[in-house]
Amino acid sequence: MHAPDTYDYAVIRVVPRVEREEFVNVGIILSCERAGFLEARIELDEARLRMLDPALDIDSLRRHLDTIPAICRGGDAAAPIGLLPARARFHWLTAKRSSIIQTSPVHMGRCGDLHATLEHLMDRMVRPPKATTPR
């Protein structure tokens, strides 16, 4: 078994009305330079977004969000950013912006399974908590 990997991650946020500074977490970008890992997972909760802005163009938002995993995968399909090294793509994706799609500050951690960690972060930071039934 190998030593745990050190990773960096950022939460992807949608800020429908930037002037109000309200946002909904919609995804995670996770990077591990040693493992050559750069992946993003996105899940939109349309109802939560519509509460912040009923007129939000969800189709346009999805098209823009779809570029994030494409940039993570890299290659010609995401050119010119997709042609940069993975670490440079991560830094480009997590750079400060004042647009409708933003990221949190970058956080770091250590883990033994990057895919499981990405799922854990989605559960913890993006997906609504599961209701528990009283006993």
pLDDT tens digit string along 4-29? 999 999 999 999 999 999 999 999 99
Task: Give the residue-averaged pLDDT of 112-116.
Answer: 95
Burial of residue 118, with CB atoms counted within 10 A of its CB: 0-12 exposed, 13-18 middle, 19 or more buried:
buried
What pLDDT does 32 receive? 97
DSSP state for residue 100 in the 8-state scheme:
S
Give the residue from 113, 84, 133, 103 showing the smallest Cα distance to 7: 113
State the pTM of this model.
Answer: 0.92
Q: Tokens at residue 77, please?
A: 């399909």
Task: Flag the least confident range among 20-24, 75-79, 81-85.
Answer: 75-79
What pLDDT does 37 receive? 97
Classified as helix, coil or strand, 110 is: strand
Statement: residue 1 has pLDDT above 70: no
How high is the mean pLDDT of the chain?
94
What pLDDT does 97 receive? 87
> For the chain, which residues make up each domain, given as ranges?
5-108+119-126
